[in-house]
Structure 1
């Protein structure tokens, strides 16, 4: 957030004069977005979002990273979560599975050394400023650098020749980047970078209470079991001293009265279902995994209400010969209709169902579109292409986050 901006005299200076040797304050939270869109096809989109909290006073760091990749095979999503407090054992979860990590420094170095993140920070540190303003940005007194037509040949993912335009704010006291947003336009695609740094006013702590969708009285937690990670209302991971048979008995006793339908597969993962009063069907995926090295059992719980069921989204009337192949999280449709009409119909229908379109993660081209919608901690991705008067649609849903986040 930018407030009380004062216009100063224009001048030119190298941004690395204030960012090159800088370090962040002791307590900060950082949001970083890197998004790549193709000019040729809207569905060829790729972005990474990172939410990070740092508190050097307690040697604590917490990081959530979400990666979304769109392509001809649909949308693939990946989630990573890391937490380290003091000298305790760090926590690392990738796509809902916990992986052992002995050293917090190595864990966070693996994130910081992601080429995309390092490359973008190096790029803005060498931007030549054209104008400067001074103001309060995200709680810091900072100066602005506005730039355009900067060479972007060294920026990852953009197809050269490429130039960039945007703005960078650096702290007057400390020289660290406070905010930047810019777009690099290349020959075949465009890359957007957004960075926000804010003071951290809370302490970094392990998760406490757990609230999941479809549980009126809270998710049941047996004795000897503690939460290690939660993802808003959609996912939680617990560590327990109980054995798998003991946990199975506990959850059958706690769930089957309200979640009467239960099925299990050969991996030990079980699915419970229930019907709410408003006719919403809920699915609970419960996975129990023994960890011999720590004598613990991990409990992973994921909740899927039918309000995010792609198979339940009504197929619009008025289109000739629709072909539909559908499942809970993935539906493909073919219409003999023009793309613009199909998109307008689905945008209206999804809005009526409570899905809000996220413009920063949406793209529309002449014969293709990629639209992102959000609803109750879930995202819906709609990919559409048109060829010869036939529209091809694919609708997919997934949890929107895999760990704690904040509003940047």
Structure 2
């Protein structure tokens, strides 16, 4: 979205037209909507803005639910925004730590700021991009005086800076991608904006939550902070570093799993020691990505009376009929040949026509393998392909 489209959209006519649009979920829907609106005499800038926003509102539903129907977005802003359910959990940590006001530095379209304001915290949201800041202001308008938005650099509005408002704590989302409203590319950690050295120095003196990518280099995590990896509906989405009063006493590693309305968390004072490798048992367990990133596999293994299936491979195995929220558990049926032709024949003999393929430690493309297997039948199963040492292991299993 450019400034002309935003100006056309932020008018009574533009907003009424946007709210009147039916769901736009496909390219065909876009084409029909553009033709209809242009035939009605609307300007190209307004048509582009309205159709683009209607499409983004539809895409935003998994992150923002019903709130998406009254929000504005940029494509890049939506891709990088925190899911509202996750933002609410972040906000709850600030509230439970006794914080009453927060500076949201690098607020994007305002997803996290909505979480803060929704729990009654006073939030000052800041973004360096003027169009993004304007969109955040629109999205935060329903929260009234408890939410304000500024366009500017995080460094100029952080506690201690001349332009800052007094706040109890900071939420900081450094830009991890190049600037822009549509196509962006990922930046190296040393190119984050604001710089991570500055962010870590801020966290050392002010209670702060810093949102980073889940693959952030663990060796550069500062001492004395709590590192919490977060997964949502099976995808590991972020790492948050918590400092000061926002960090829980005795917790340095945490894995938070969210699935739908349910949430489960594993915490520890340090990385957990792995359990030893043991022979394949009746069950294979795949730890959640947040557990793997937090290096808490060993704690999960001990709770399941399980061991590692192989060195360097994040699969557990056990004979105990146990599972937990932190793993996906599979009951092993049998070991099958790894050769594609022999494997295809074995699956057809068992009538397996619907196959979930899981893999770790092997260089295969599950989609290409599924095509090569030429599946036929009504039965369903899971295929686990991994390795023990140099040997490939192919297991037919069922989800528990």
Tell me whether the two structures share a fold, i.e. TM-score over 0.5: no
TM-score (norm 2): 0.26
**Higher RCO (CA 8 Å, separation ≥ 6 residues):** 1
Structure in which a larger fraction of residues adopt strand: 1
